[in-house]
Copies of this chain bind each other. A is one copy, B any other.
Amino acid sequence: MDLDEQMRFVNEAGRLKGVLRQTRLTEPARRENSAEHSWHLAVMALVLAGHAPPGTDLSRVIAMLLVHDMVEIDAGDLFVYADAAQHARQQQAERAAADRIFALLPDGQAARIRALWDEFNERGTPEAKFARAMDRLQPMLANVQAGGGTWAEHGITAEQVLRNVALIEDGSAVLGRYARDLVERAVGDGLLARPPE
């Protein structure tokens, strides 16, 4: 029965609360998990929707954000500044996880949710680009709040962060500018190593 499959998926979803990310929270001091990260991104999309390109379908953005990290139940979270080989392995693990996890749902619904996940990863639509912008912006806000956070911990440079700013600009010009200013202030405040001249 559809409902039994849906409930199995809902129970499985809860496991995302146990997947820890790099981002550090300040109160209480601990690593963020991917479930609360996903909630925060969805709230951001709701509140910042006015900065998306005209015509962006907010409900699809939010649905994408709600499910985008569920593959981490199997694949775990990979630090955004990991190397290319690690990202390639992660991509493969995430695809296998998507095959398993979304298939818990009734067939038609599994295909619809999987399509949302693919759309997010392919970054081809304004909705996916705006959703990705949320995903890149939130850890920057957290790092500034934590007085350096994972930037300080891993010796990340402004140059590396600015590559993520480009992805934010791709989703929203206004938020891209905001992120660029934030990086500049973080460099000024000594939270981020200055890019080489």
Contact = CB atoms under 8 A, between A and B. Distances in A.
A66 interface: yes
B10 A43 contact: yes
A11 B27 CA distance: 12
Nearest to A134: B10
Copies held by the complex: 2
Interface in A96-123: 105, 109, 113
A190 interface: no
A37 to B, nearest CB: 9
B11 A47 contact: no
A63 B38 CA distance: 14
A58 B28 CA distance: 33
A43 B62 contact: no
Interface in A18-60: 18, 25, 27-28, 32-33, 35-36, 38-40, 42-44, 46-48, 50-51, 58-59
Contacts of A43: 10, 13, 66-67
A14 interface: yes
Contact of A109 (B16, B47, B138): B47
A35 B135 CA distance: 16
Smallest CB-CB A-B distances: 3 pairs: A39-B39, A59-B59, A35-B36
Given A3-B174, A10-B43, 16 more contacts: A7-B141, A10-B40, A11-B141, A13-B43, A14-B40, A14-B145, A16-B39, A18-B25, A33-B36, A39-B66, A42-B42, A42-B62, A50-B109, A59-B59, A59-B62, A62-B63
20 contacts: A2-B50, A3-B51, A7-B178, A10-B40, A10-B47, A10-B138, A13-B43, A17-B32, A17-B36, A17-B40, A35-B40, A36-B36, A38-B39, A42-B62, A42-B66, A43-B67, A58-B59, A59-B59, A62-B62, A62-B63
